Every structure is written in structure tokens, then in C-alpha cells.
A and B are shown apart, each in its own frame.
Chain A
């Protein structure tokens, strides 16, 4: 087994361990594994980081040339942001959602991706890492907005339907979830915008056109518009609570669909590369 695959399997083992521990902390009081969860997640993240660094050093580019590689990089960012925030926000429930995501991504990466990735010339542009990092960061932050919004809807449902027995006590208060969802939108939107602009610049550098009208670009523009509208309504239109949470979920679903459509179905990918706009 290659070091790369081996490292990813170790990381994946840590992530599944973290998932189980987070799960346990929601199922029972004083579950013995609950305290281990963030440590396992951090350990998985550390190994995952080493693997990405190794990739960057050996190949000279971010390992996002394949769908699996991109997904894994995305999960790495989500886990990184979550770990960075968890001390301040105590959001174990988001950890419980993020850990299995990371497990899936890393396992898929370990199974699907080979060791040698042929790096096409287009990926050698200095604009590419900028574009990829910004766009993926934006996506990762939106994924967290999606996660807290989903938890919001769950918690709201528990309160409204008087299911006051168990889970309701372990989920954060509604107001906090709503505030965090808005906060993630506010951080994600500029990142998305910069990601799209840098993508255009990269495209202009390699093809001479800023906008080529490909489906991926149209989907990116649609996603941007949806998030712009959502943020606008949140900040100025008094959009809150349930409706805001639902729209945040819709927006991320569109983002995810366009990512999958572009990468798996190869909708208008000029270079045949697994890159989302």
C-alpha cells in the first residue's frame, strides 16, 4: 500500500472514531467516548493535513484534479474551520455532522484516487491555487451554514412539537443557530465572490476569456445570485428563523448539485478537470 493510501486510511479511521464518539455524546449522558470526539477529529485532521502537504510538495499543485481529491480537500477545509471554531462555539452537534462527512470523503479518496496524478498544463497557472482555495473555502463555510440551518430546523421542530424529552437539551438554542447561520453566510459570500472572480481571471489567463458561458459558469453565477439574495434578505430584509434556514439549505443544495453535475457528469468541462466554480 502506498503511503498516501495508508495515511488516508488512518485519517479515515480517526474520522469514523470521531463520528461514533460524537454520536455517543448525543445518545446518552456521560457517554464514555464523548470527550474523545474532538481529539479524534483533530488527529484525523492532522494526518489529513500531512497528506495534503505531501501531495502539494510532490505534485506542486493542490490535490483537487479529481472529484475524490476535491471532495477530500473540501472536507479537510470544513473540518479545519469547525475545529478552529469549536472551542469558542461549543457546537458538538455540528461536529457530529462534520465527522462522518470527512470520513466519507477521505475513504472515497483513499479508494478511488491513485498515487500519481497527471497534472495538466492548465493547472500550472499561479491563479489556480488562489481560485481553488477561495472557492473551496467559500463552499466549506456554506457547508457549515447548511449544517447549523439543518440543526435549526430540527430543534425548531422539537420545540414546536413538544418533544422536550431528550435531544432538545443537547442541541444549541435556536437563536444561537440562527445567528451562526447568518454569520457563516456573511463569511462565505465574499469568499465565493472572490473564488468566482479568481476563476474568471484564471480562465482569462489560460483561454483568453473571462466568461465563456459554459454550464459550470452559469451554475456558478446562479449560485452566487442565490447567496447574494439570501444575504441581502438576511441583513436588510429581516429574514430570520425557519425561512432563512430553509433558504440556506436550498442554496447549498444548488451549490452541491452544480458541483456534482459539473464534476461527475462532466457538464461542459473544457479540461476534463474536477473543479467547481
Chain B
């Protein structure tokens, strides 16, 4: 029996977060969800993909049985949207398009932030769940394993994920162009607001040693310091500790806190060890002239935003290259998938021909009275021989090694000409 691949679902491209979260909650029990899917929608294999940005089901079913409507109905019901509101919120894809979609999702080409690295891990995990529930069969196992290797290829062969696309991550990135390692470095945070905190958390993830938080309202500094296991300082005392800091993040209100002369002094005290100033505040906390000093590097919020913009552009350019890789992999997968279809197609073709033969023979025999059992059998044999002879050459061609595109064209031609896999 030949098969059809289908994807139905909704994602951040099509549905608002309220709808996504309702459906995600309904799909939280993967086992129940998948059981219902298999029972209600008549699919043979199913994998559920549920992340905060998408809830999709990938299914494999018998050709001729189109599960799209049933799947859509089920998802509309579970997400609690009205039957008519479902239009446009859900998407459905089949065949090559479905394969391409799975590959693109795994490669992070369909993500909200193209190239973000989490999706692949999430997909692997969700695939494991579906596979441990034995919902994923041989075809979907192949689809997903292939999608993981495509994602890996995209990641290593293109620069899609090589650059940071947030201000804080970019600052960490730049710091690693100055410092050999961020291990054990001291970070000073001026201002205990959200911006500074985000930057501090990124530096913590990069393993810096110590963080000092200075803030005008000392209590706020203490609160944040407690959260980050950092040291709190009153803002008026920060200069005293400045020579200890390798990285200084400015996010305090009230304008300039340091000028180039101050920093020159500090650098002398540090005996030339470099310092990286990251000015996230508006108005700026640091004098732009600091960047002219030997051993001091200064990036303000606009500089960082420009780098981010640049990196996003680079990701978009790399995404184009990634799409070419995906396309080539879809082609390759499709060849395998078509091969899988050849045998079922031949079987179906023969069944179809034989059913016609049998029908016609029975009709004719019913009209002939004086006919012996032996002659009946002879007529059967003769008609069988006709069918076999007629189908001999087409079967040989289908089984033969043609070019993949030719083969695929032949298969679909045969299926269309003989209306194979069409229940209606």
C-alpha cells in the first residue's frame, strides 16, 4: 500500500499565542493526543511537535486516504477555536511540501529567530516521545532522522547560527575578541535595571568570575546582587573598585559616569590589562573618547545594535544558502520515498487490472449457460494471460532503474492513469 505524508498544525506564522497555548495544553498529554489522532484520523504513523511556537502533527497514512480534514477538525476542536475561525490559523501540507517543512523546522529556518539553536533539541525530544509510544513508524523515523542530519549539515555548512542576534549576546561575543577567555573575569554592572541584568546573565553564562552591581538606590543593587550571587556597591563608590573590573556595563540613568581621563588612570593602575566598556544607557554613561585609549574598548548601544543588524542580515543571507541545502536533501529523501512506493504501486496496478478482468469475466460467464467447468477455467486463464501480457512491460519499466525524476513522473502517471489509490 503506498503512503502519503501529511503535516497539519499551527505556528507563530499562522496563529496568535492564545491559540497556540490552548492547543499546546490540549496536546500536553502526548500519549492521549496521539492515540486519539490514530483512532480518529485513520493515520498509520504520527509524530507530535509541540513547542511554544508551534503545534504540529506529522503523519503517514495510506495513499488515497486524505487525513487533512480529520486532522484539522481534531486540532480545531482541541484548540477551542470556532470551526470557522480555524481557517487561516491552521496549515496543512502534503507530500514533498510536508517533507520540506519538517526539514526546514529542524534546520531552524521556520523559527521566529532564524538560526536559533533550541528547536533541534526540542524536536529530537518530541520525536523520542512519539517514537516511544510507537506512534512513529518506519517512514516517519526516516523523515525525522533525516531532518536531524539536514539540520546538522545546515549548521556546519552555513553561518546561519554563527552570529549573535541580541545586544547582550553580541557584547559577550565582542568580549571574546578582546579577552582570551571570559573565565574568571570581573564584570561591573552600573545600574541594576533590566538591561543591565540581561547583560549580566549573558556574561554569567559565559562563566565570568565575579559580578559587582552598583546602583544609586543601594537596596535595588542588593536585590539584584542576591539574585546573581554578585557583590552590591553604592554607585558613588564604584570608582574605587573599577580597577578590578575587566568588563564594565553601563546601564544607569543620569548620564555620564566616566570620562577618558578617569579611565586612563584606571588603566595605568591595571598595568595595561585591557578593559571592555559596554554602554547600554541613554544618555550614555561613558565618554566616547574612552575608545581612543590604548587597552580600552567601548561599544555603545548604537554600535551594538548596528552589529546585531549586520548579524541578522548575515543570517538572512546564510538562510538562502540553507534553503538550497534543504531542497537538495528533500530531493534525495523523495527518491527514497518514491522507491518505497514502486512495489505497492505495481501490486495495486495488478489488483486493479485483475478486479476488472474478474468482473468482466463473471458478467460474461453468467450469460453463457452451456459451459463446462473446464471451459470456465480456460476463459479465466486466457484473460489472466491477457492482463499479464499487457502489464508485463509497464511493470518492468516501473521496476527498472530510471533517472529519479523520470521514475517519479512515471509513478504519478501510472497512478493517475489508472486512478490508483483513489477510493472514490
Contacts and interface: CB of A to CB of B under 8 A. Distances in A.
B177 A174 contact: yes
Interface of B: 156-159, 162, 174, 176-180, 268, 271-274, 291-292, 294-295, 297, 299, 303, 306-307, 310, 314
Interface string A147-163: 00000000100011010
A169 B307 CA distance: 13
A160 B174 CA distance: 11
Contacts of A171: 177
B177 A162 contact: no
A240 B271 CA distance: 8
Given A160-B297, A175-B274, A165 B310 contact: yes
Nearest to B158: A29
Contact of B294 (A30, A159, A162, A242): A242
Contacts of A165: 310, 314
A240 B310 contact: no
Given A29-B162, A162-B306, A240-B295, 16 more contacts: A29-B159, A159-B177, A159-B297, A162-B299, A162-B307, A164-B307, A164-B310, A165-B314, A173-B179, A174-B179, A176-B180, A179-B180, A238-B268, A240-B272, A242-B294, A244-B272
A35 interface: no
B296 to A, nearest CB: 9
Nearest to A177: B180
Interface string A175-190: 1100100000000000
Interface residues of A, number: 23
For the residues of A in contact with B, the DSSP-based class is helix
A174 B292 CA distance: 16
B291 A160 contact: yes
Nearest to B268: A238
A243 interface: yes
Given A30-B156, A159-B297, A164 B274 contact: no
B292 to A, nearest CB: 8
Given A241-B294, A243-B294, A173 B180 contact: yes
A239 interface: yes
B104 to A, nearest CB: 21
A168 interface: yes
A159 B178 contact: yes
17 contacts: A159-B174, A159-B178, A162-B307, A165-B310, A165-B314, A173-B178, A173-B180, A174-B177, A175-B274, A238-B271, A240-B271, A240-B272, A240-B273, A240-B294, A242-B294, A242-B295, A244-B272
